[in-house]
């Protein structure tokens, strides 16, 4: 399945954070989402074969990487209080990703 690390993370405003995801074996597409409490997941971006090929309404301080070994990263610079949320990665095969497999998420708290 899809795994994410760390499970929980506490940072202070202005810091930088890197969240990691390991996709399901064989999946070549990974998407990252931000989910605030009581809300639906908000699409951050999608990577396909190590290239970003879709992006939601998030500022450039949200960036990502996808590696050939089914792993990926979400980097957030200059953390703000509103970045506190659950961050989910989801993997799928192909760019259509109609069926996405989600990881358990990383709970980020920014103080």
Partner 1 sequence: GQSLEQPSEVTAVEGAIVQINCTYQTSGFYGLSWYQQHDGGAPTFLSYNALDGLEETGRFSSFLSRSDSYGYLLLQELQMKDSASYFCAVRDNTGGFKTIFGAGTRLFVKA
64 near partner 1, rule: CB under 8 A = no
Determine the Cα–Cα distance for residues 52 and 49; give it in Å rounded to an integer.
8
Q: How far apart are the first and last CA of the chain?
A: 31
Query: Closer to partner 1 at the Cβ: 79 or 100?
Result: 100
Q: Hey, what's the torsion of the CAs at 38, 39, 44, 47, to 10 degrees?
A: 90
Determine the Cα–Cα distance for residues 39 and 5; give it in Å rounded to an integer.
22
102 near partner 1, rule: CB under 8 A = yes
49 near partner 1, rule: CB under 8 A = no
46 near partner 1, rule: CB under 8 A = yes
Q: Of the ranges 11-19, 62-70, 74-82, 94-102, which one interacts with partner 1 (CB under 8 A)?
A: 94-102
Given candidates 27, 43, 65, 71, which one binds partner 1 under the rule CB under 8 A?
43
Query: Closer to partner 1 at the Cβ: 70 or 104?
Result: 104
Burial class (CB in 10 A: 0-12, 13-18, 19+), 92: buried
Q: Which residues bind partner 1 (CB under 8 A)?
A: 31, 33, 38-43, 46, 48, 53-56, 88, 90, 95-105
């Amino acid at each position: 399945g899809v795994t994410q690390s760390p499970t929980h993370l506490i940072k202070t405003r202005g810091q930088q954070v890197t969240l990691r995801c390991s996709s399901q074996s064989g999946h070549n597409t990974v998407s990252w989402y931000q989910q605030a409490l009581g809300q639906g997941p908000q699409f951050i971006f999608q990577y396909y074969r190590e290239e970003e090929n879709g992006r939601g309404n998030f500022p450039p301080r949200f960036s990502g990487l996808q590696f050939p070994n089914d792993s990926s990263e979400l980097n957030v610079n200059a953390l703000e209080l509103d970045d506190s949320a659950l961050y989910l990665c989801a993997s799928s095969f192909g760019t259509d990703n109609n069926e996405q497999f989600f990881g358990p998420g990383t709970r980020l708290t920014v103080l």
